[in-house]
Amino acid sequence: MPNPTAAMLVIGDEILSGRTRDANMHYLAKELTNFGIDLKEVRVVSDDADAITEAVKTLSSAYDHLFTSGGIGPTHDDITADNVARAFGKNIDVRDDARAILQAHYDRQGIELNKARLRMARIPEGATLIDNPISAAPGFTLENVHVMAGVPKIFETMLASILPTLTGGAPILSQSLAIMRGEGDIAGPVRDLSERYSDLSFGSYPFQRNGVFGAQVVIRGSDGARVDAAMSELCKAFPE
């Protein structure tokens, strides 16, 4: 059986403006690879209601899972929850269990659970909460959409809490070989090899070392024996 598929939706004007460098995509890709879920697409959208809603509709229908990051805080531009709910035609309101989590968290700190902070307890109808042990404000899963914070440490802990609840496939294995030739010299043999091993993925990534052009060829797949065999042939083709 093929591995489950996934997409990621990164939400926030700060990403598109260059003010903030996104780290969550890199982390998610590594974790899903190890878990056996194939990340197929990543999309970045602004803090725009229609853009978020349409992206959620499109990506959630195309893949087994959709992971989102950003836009679930207490400020006016945190509109992810509302528009994920809108994408599925669900009502959204403050939910008692989410409110209780926030109330306990802020009581411990002697901080008021004011109207702004209470926004983070608004959860779409039918969603399940995603634990947030760092700042308490929960994420949620609605249908096949997993809605998480944009702050990397919080995103990582939320992801750790939901991955064990999902069904993964075979972890993707990879091997690489640095070949000190330009891509134009290796393209033909690598293409022929990829055709013989069509169940594997071949990537070529150029570099320059001490003024000499080379390429890192990466072979990826879920069958370790096939990856080993393909890499053995590649090493024979370029023994240097």
**Rounded to two decimals, what is the model's pTM?**
0.87
* 230 has pLDDT over 90: yes
Predicted confidence (pLDDT) at residue 240 exceeds the cutoff of 80? no
Give the pLDDT of residue 113.
Answer: 95
Per-residue model confidence (pLDDT) at position 170: 87
Contact 101, 113 (CB under 8 A): no
CB 217 within 8 A of CB 203: yes
Tell me what pLDDT residue 1 has: 76
Q: Please determine, for residue 12, whether its predicted confidence score (pLDDT) is greater than 90.
A: yes
Work out the percent of the chain whose per-residue pLDDT is above 90: 95
The pLDDT, as a whole number, for residue 9 is 98
SS3 assignment, position 124: strand
Average pLDDT over residues 37-50: 96
Distance of CA 184 to the CA centre of its chain: 33
Per-residue pLDDT tens over the stretch 159-213: 999 999 999 998 889 999 999 999 999 999 999 999 999 999 999 999 999 899 9
What's 178-235 look like in SS3? Answer: EECCCHHHHHHHHHHHHHHCCCCEEEEEEEEECCEEEEEEEEEECCHHHHHHHHHHHH
Domain spans of the chain, in order of start = 5-165, 173-237
Q: Is the pLDDT of residue 36 over 80?
A: yes
CATH of domain 173-237: 3.30.70
- Range ranked top by mean pLDDT from 39-43, 70-74, 236-240: 39-43
Over residues 108-159, the pLDDT tens digits come to 999 999 999 999 999 999 999 999 999 999 999 999 999 999 999 999 999 9
Question: Looking at residue 2, what is its pLDDT?
Answer: 86
193 Cβ contact partners less than 8 Å away, ≥ 6 residues apart: 202, 230, 233, 234, 237
> Mean pLDDT throughout 91-97?
97
Instruction: For residue 215, report the phi and psi dihedrals to the nearest 5 degrees.
Output: -150, 140
Mean pLDDT of the chain: 95
Cβ-Cβ contacts under 8 Å for 68 (sequence gap 6 or more): 8, 9, 10, 11, 56, 80, 84, 145, 146, 147, 148
Classify domain 5-165 at the CATH superfamily level: MoaB/Mog-like domain (3.40.980.10)
In this predicted structure, the answer to whether residue 3 has a pLDDT above a threshold of 80 is yes
Which residue is listed with tokens 């043999």?
Answer: 189
